[in-house]
Amino acid sequence: MHILTREDAQYIDQVVPTAFDIPLELLMENAGRGLVDALWGNYDLLQLDENNMQGRFVLFLCGCGNNGADGLVAARHLMEQGVPVRVVLCGNPDKGSTLFQSQLKRCKTIGCSVEAYDDFNDWSQAVVVVEGLVGTGLEGALRSSTIEILHDIDIMRTQYGFAVWAIDVPAGLDATTGQISEGTLACDYTVTFGAMKQGLLLYPGKNVGGVCIVAPLGVPWQQMIVDRYQTFTIDNELAELLIEYRPDTAHKGVNGNLLIIGGSGDMVGAPMLAGEAAVHSGAGKTTLAVPEKIQKIVQGRIIPEVMVTSITADISGLCHQRNVVAIGPGLGRTDEVKTLVQSVLTMCDNPLVIDADALYAMGHIGIVNQDAVVSGDLNKLYSVSKSIPSCVMTPHLGEFSRLINMPVKWIERNYVIVARAFAMAHNVVLVLKGIPSLVALPDGTVYINTIGNSGMGTGGMGDVLTGVISAFISQGYSLQDSAVLGVYVHSRSADLLFDNRPWGYTPSDVSLHIGQVIGELLGERE
């Protein structure tokens, strides 16, 4: 599913009228009708004139821009359908947008109740409050007057129990970054237009959107953004498209030969988790290369399907005939590890998955130009200081912070754009493990994960993901498909556990459910 930023939405509004000879006013009409359809999908609004519901109404709080105009369209359609509505204007209507002025005139012409916010004091009869104060155009902080209105809404819903619906995005939410302004109100529902807005999937924005419903615009807007950087969701529909049946003649020789380099005296379990996850993900042959001092320990604890060898100085020989080499889980942070990682990066011609301590060993590999974030110029935002081979990199936020020498808080505020710039500059597939995780590709495409749960926040979960991604690469999937599919399978496995055990399941438990998830995906194709 497509994801749109604020800039994408503005671009669509600019180009669609000319490209398709469809005025913006018609898009607004479609948006308003989509909002009405969503309301009908959750309420029997005809009951508002019946029995104990008599006198109740749907309340629209409308700003004087195009977001408020969307609300006016919806109010008009509900009124036509016999649903009691009241419109309250928040701001000076004389200074409203052109489309707002047009829609306001139509509402008044058909007799819709319209009043100023300062004159309204009938909250007790509202069954639903629809907030259309700002919309996707916001950059920065809310005005104090808007904050006061949102505060009033919050107090009144506590007292009277009505639901709050947002139009496109909640007021105060940055539709691109997911950052929220002071005063932003957590809504019960958000009806967004055309496609999911990026800010509704990123924290803290995800906490305020409530249940998100996508309403169609009625035009093939996707044709207008083919030359822009694309963002999509990672979900079951995408995973189902990527997964492939194995042929009946498949055997271990064609299902992949995978090597995982990891482990140290203090972290014996990390490479084992990765190796076992690779087996459960279908790799034909999985081998762990660990320090000689822990080889016997690993051999005694690992499942018998995983072969174990020791790390040698002959890196080329160790990597020979492997379909993929993963390095990093539990390696430690010694000078010897730095040398080992550098040797693998320079001497290994295999597809690589770089994780954990291998990422630490790489140090700072790029430079961020913070000023370029404002302009959105990806070519100037990030520059390479150390070259690396084409690979899959799987850092969490702390590891990514070290790679680009930027604080985690800054990365969280610029999550998607910096990941996109990094992947493009280094020509790598970046799996940035955060909340949510995302996959950024060298061509600028970004996929944002929409599943997973809080139970995944435990040590070893990233090692399992490394094993899953590596296993898919070993079976012939591309680096990008392996990353996207790996993130989905990993998260979906955790969700299966979460349904019955929201607390205390382990990475090993997740690994054991991978086959079930793959079975789900293959079953959906039958």
Question: Distance (Å, rounded) from C-alpha 52 to C-alpha 29?
Answer: 32
- Domain with 340, as residue range(s), is 239-525
Any idea what DSSP says for residue 223? G
Task: Let me know how many helices (H) and strands (E) the chain has, helices first.
Answer: 20, 21
| Whole-number pLDDT of residue 194 | 96
Evaluate whether 449 touches 488 at the Cβ level (below 8 Å).
yes
- Interacting residues of 417 by C-beta distance below 8 A, sequence separation 6+: 373, 376, 378, 381
Residue 233 lies in a domain: no
Q: Are residues 244 and 210 in the same domain?
A: no
- Interacting residues of 19 by C-beta distance below 8 A, sequence separation 6+: 223, 224
Q: Are residues 208 and 304 in the same domain?
A: no
Q: Which of 168, 194, 228 is a domain's end point?
A: 228
Evaluate whether 256 touches 469 at the Cβ level (below 8 Å).
no
Residue 388 lies in a domain: yes
Residue 442 lies in a domain: yes
What is the gyration radius of the CA atoms in the chain, in angstroms? 26
Q: Are residues 375 and 398 in the same domain?
A: yes
Q: Are residues 370 and 513 in the same domain?
A: yes
Mean pLDDT of 22-41: 95
| Whole-number pLDDT of residue 422 | 97
pLDDT at residue 50 greater than cutoff 60: no
DSSP H or E stretch at residue 167: strand 163-167
Q: Are residues 325 and 425 in the same domain?
A: yes
pLDDT at residue 51 greater than cutoff 60: no
Q: Which of 169, 203, 228 is a domain's end point?
A: 228
Q: Are residues 249 and 220 in the same domain?
A: no
Enter the tokens of residue 82.
Answer: 């016999």
- Where does the pLDDT of residue 106 fall: very low under 50, low under 70, confident under 90, or very high at 90 and above? very high
Q: What is the CATH number of the domain that holds 66?
A: 3.40.50.10260
Q: Are residues 394 and 370 in the same domain?
A: yes
pLDDT at residue 526 greater than cutoff 70: no
| Whole-number pLDDT of residue 53 | 59
Q: Are residues 211 and 253 in the same domain?
A: no
Number of domains in the chain: 2
| Whole-number pLDDT of residue 524 | 57
Q: What is the CATH number of the domain that holds 375?
A: 3.40.1190.20
Q: Are residues 207 and 261 in the same domain?
A: no
pLDDT mean across residues, the chain: 94
Mean pLDDT of 215-219: 94
Residue 133 lies in a domain: yes
**Residue 437 C-alpha from the chain's centroid:** 6
Cα 10-13-16 angle, rounded to 5 deg:
135
List the one residue out of 245, 240, 233, 278 whose CA is nearest residue 259: 278
Q: Are residues 192 and 245 in the same domain?
A: no
Q: Are residues 254 and 167 in the same domain?
A: no
Residue 234 lies in a domain: no
**Phi/psi at 289 (5° precision):** -110, 115
Q: Are residues 488 and 350 in the same domain?
A: yes
Residue 335 lies in a domain: yes
Beta strands across the sheet bearing 324-327: 196-197, 2-4, 231-234, 446-449, 438-440, 429-432, 392-393, 352-354, 324-327, 257-261, 285-290, 306-310
